[in-house]
Amino acid sequence: MKITVMTADEQFITLDVDPDESVENVKALLEVETRVSLQQQQLLFNGSEIRNSDRLSSLGVRDGDLVMMISRASSSMPGNDLSFNPDGSAVNPGAFQQHVRRDSNMMAQLLQTDPELAQALLGNDLNRLQNLLRERHQQRSDLRRRQEEELALMYADPFDVEAQKKIEAAIRQKGIDENWAAALEYNPEAFARVVMLYVDMEVNGIPLKAFVDSGAQSTIISKSCAERCGLLRLLDRRYKGVAHGVGQSEILGRIHVAPIKIGNIFYPCSFMVLDSPNMEFLFGLDMLRKHQCIIDLKENVLRVGGGEVSVPFLQEKDIPSHFLDEERFSKQASASGSIAEASGTKNDGKLPTGGQSSGTPQTDPTQGPDFEAKVSKLVELGFGRDAAIQALRFFDGNEEQAAGYLFGG
């Protein structure tokens, strides 16, 4: 195996030694390389001095490890202590930093193998350097411990149930680690944050950045956004309810139609109004379907009207930072993902399907005389009875959404 020895006179020496080599023999090799006598050498590993009689393997020295060598004469000089503490931090971080900086070969190697540590050595923050040295020491210790545990398991009693469980866990973890390493090499983008889909729109003449969410059944606008757009006066409170999901949000009502501008074309749109300050405007599946939208991730655009308008999805830099806040986004997702349970239907002034009220029974919106009346209205518009029934059931009895779906189809 190969070990690297850092000397007090700014040299890095690589020695090819046997794992069972004694420290005394290592010092003899260093005497030839450094001209420092064996008696004057002091070798340190992980901040502790190692004795001549010790073997490298018994000390835990592995291939690629770093050993410090200082002469007993230089160790008595103040401000020149290049040893390490037991936690891996440098005893004199300033001296250690300057020492490594002067070695251009070592710095070049660190820039390739550990750029984070190299930047800390080149910077002026000694606390950050010490923290990184502790982290690297802990990583080496963890790796050494795992290797020792794996070695011990190889010689474990095959009839020991606990040992076999540990072997099974080690094999499973090895598979996970290999899978992780393969993902880093062949699918590194999987570890990056995925930016959600936003587009520029205008609602009633007010520009907004709309969150495109095909997983939300209904298009949603917040109360504050509806007020800013001058639409709150059109709020139909007969569609009040509660949207359930990971969390829940109060549905204040519904705005039946308002103009939205996508690109240069205006489209009619209906909204559920939620009392949700963490979400401004969400373009849901009902309007995506009605206006025959296509989410084109290859070209990174939203196509509307079967392709008559194409608007690009916003880059991360163009999305307001509070939209990307993880806590806020999780609250938005919990509401938007569950709107399918609370999408509105009038229900004769009762709560929408999926809403909750204290002591008020809910009726099935897809049965009864009201449902038959809605079917008749759709049939009068020229649609087949079976298609009308299917559309109404799909939208939980919502006549407007069913008609929009049938017209769009």
Angle at 218 between CA 373 and CA 245, to 5 degrees: 110
CB 33 within 8 A of CB 64: no
3-state class (DSSP) for residue 122: helix
* Helix 126-154 with 115-122: angle, nearest 10 deg: 150
Cα–Cα distance between 220 and 339 in angstroms, integer? 9
Cα–Cα distance between 243 and 360 in angstroms, integer? 17
Tell me which of 65, 81, 213, 396 is the catalytic residue.
213
Cα–Cα distance between 250 and 36 in angstroms, integer? 79
Cα–Cα distance between 342 and 217 in angstroms, integer? 9
Q: Is 213 in the active site?
A: yes
**Short-list 185, 189, 228, CA closest to 205:** 228
Q: What is the 3-state secondary structure (H, E, C) of 269-326?
A: EEEEEECCCCCCEEECHHHHHHCCCEEECCCCEEEEHHHCEEEECCCHHHCCHHHHCH
Burial of 228 (0-12, 13-18, 19+ CB in 10 A): middle
Kindly calculate the radius of gyration of the chain based on its CA atoms and give it in whole angstroms. Answer: 34
CA 10 to chain centre: 42
Q: What is the 3-state secondary structure (H, E, C) of 349-379?
A: HCCCCCCCCCCCCCCCCCCCHHHHHHHHHHH
Cα–Cα distance between 336 and 271 in angstroms, integer? 13
Instruction: Report the Cα–Cα distance between both ends of the chain, in Å, rounded.
Output: 71
**Short-list 65, 16, 19, CA closest to 43:** 65
Q: What does the buried/exposed string (b/e) look like for 131-165 if buried means 16 or more CB atoms within 10 Å of the residue's CB?
A: ebbbeebeebeeeeeeeeeeeebeeeeeeeeeeee
CA 183 to chain centre: 15
Would you name the residues annotated as active-site residues?
213
